Chain A
Amino acid sequence: MRSADSDAAFSEFVRARRAHLRRVAYAICGDWHRADDLVQTALVKLYVAWPRVRRDGREEAYVRRIIARADIDEHRRPWRRESPGLPAVDRPARQESLLEERSALFEAIQSLPTMQRKVVVLRYWLQLSVEETATDLGISTGTVKSHSSRGLTALRTVLAPR
């Protein structure tokens, strides 16, 4: 069992960063329920690795990397995902109004091939460097640059003129 101090520090990190990490997951996968699953799984992994990761001061990068490397292309497998053994909770019903708020840009990002989408989110939303993005995704910097270029080209039609 971890010490109370360690658990408290973990809980504080979750309190402070969960909402942001959830938005990262949503930006990558395009589904709030799936985003919740991704973040939950990543945070449980973080708990397991907490002493080592916290000592290195890279808690958020650790979770972000798990989220970024997850296979999130739900279009390919329309199966229901679940988390067995979890306490039963009532999830809020999907709110159609939220879907309506999704912009053309968001839809365009979601329509990108998976790795392009991840690169665009990490590079241009989270503003990670090419090297950081490559590390998070486990790909080469050249591949990051290629995906960045292609992703931006694909998004150009919906981006505001600048």
Chain B
Amino acid sequence: MDLHDEIEHSLGAEPPLVETDLVGRGRRALRWRRLAAGGSVVAVTAVALVAAAIATHRPAAQVAPAPAAAGPTVGTTNEPSFPPAPGTPVIRDPRMPSDAPVGLEPDGLHLAPGIEVVELWDDPWQVRPDAWSVALGYDDPEGTLTWWVGFEDARFGSQSASVPAANAGDIGFRAWAVEQKTGLYDGPGAGARPDPTVGLPGATELQLVRFDGTTERLTPLDGVTVLQQRAHPDLPDAWATADDRSAAAEVRFEGERYYVLARTTPGDVAPQYVAVPAAPGGTLDDFVELVRSARR
């Protein structure tokens, strides 16, 4: 049996596939893209109404939600609709399912009845004008506080994440919301970033560490030992600017020493990690110096 067959066999049996209306979802995504391109002018009437709520972080329920109806309350204006201008339209939507009571749509933030917003952060990922993100904390009808963050991208659709606030550990609401951007948002720039290994002989994008939350401290992945590390080493802008989070470290993996560089730029899809086999007798400081002098 060759490796292809062994991997194929290793996947095992698969659970039944749940049918979904992909054409319907695709049409909706296409409509959003056209809206973003200015081809249509549908917008909600609740924009100004709810912007005041965001400015004061008052619960949406206190700002005259749209009357309950069979579907979202949508009207037409001459305002461009996507992404919405700062200030998040909140729409009470009885169609939202109980297991996903919050959702971003091109026309605003849709909430199931009984969901009470206690904290709302408009566009925490700062992805306007290409897309739109919203983070909120809400109480459900049982009184459970949940943190939720999601984005809408006219070209790529949407994703969101949520966690019961009690299960989020010691991270705060805003830090949690920002952290979710990595991995969820693959909008502009995805796959277009320069290869970070260029200019460093022997370098690969082997990931041996990861950033610890939003700090510049590196945490080893399984099987890796961090021997020493430097937060925010002074590197040329081609590697990491002053605004980037960056770090360098010396690590051991499978009996070999490596130097690693890590950086993440505000707005990045995901951090970039580079590993370079350590030269015999070399030091981390030597490596940082090599990076400083490397031509890119």
Contact = CB atoms under 8 A, between A and B. Distances in A.
**What is the interface residue range for chain B against chain A?**
35 or more
Interface of A is mostly: helix
Interface of B: 1-4, 6-18, 20-23, 25-27, 29-30, 33, 96-97, 99-100, 102-105, 110, 150, 155-163, 179-180, 182-184, 186, 190-193, 195, 197-198, 204-208, 210, 221-222, 254, 269-270
B161 A79 contact: yes
Interface residues of A, number: 79
Contacts of B7: 27, 105-106, 109, 120-121, 124-125
A136 B97 CA distance: 36
Contact of A88 (B26, B97, B162, B192): B97
Contact of B4 (A46, A109, A125, A140): A125
Nearest to A99: B12
Contacts of A89: 18, 20
A20 B186 CA distance: 23
B6 A45 contact: no
11 contacts: A18-B17, A19-B17, A40-B25, A48-B30, A80-B163, A81-B160, A83-B159, A106-B12, A125-B7, A142-B204, A159-B6
A6 to B, nearest CB: 10
Residue among B6, B161, B206, B222 having the largest count of chain A Cβ atoms under 10 Å: B6
Contacts, number: 200
B10 A102 contact: yes
Contacts of A95: 15
B245 to A, nearest CB: 15
B197 A142 contact: yes
A129 interface: no
A36 B20 CA distance: 10
Given A27-B11, A82-B161, A153-B254, 18 more contacts: A22-B14, A26-B14, A36-B17, A47-B26, A47-B27, A50-B26, A79-B163, A83-B160, A84-B100, A87-B20, A105-B7, A111-B222, A114-B207, A124-B3, A139-B205, A143-B204, A146-B204, A162-B2
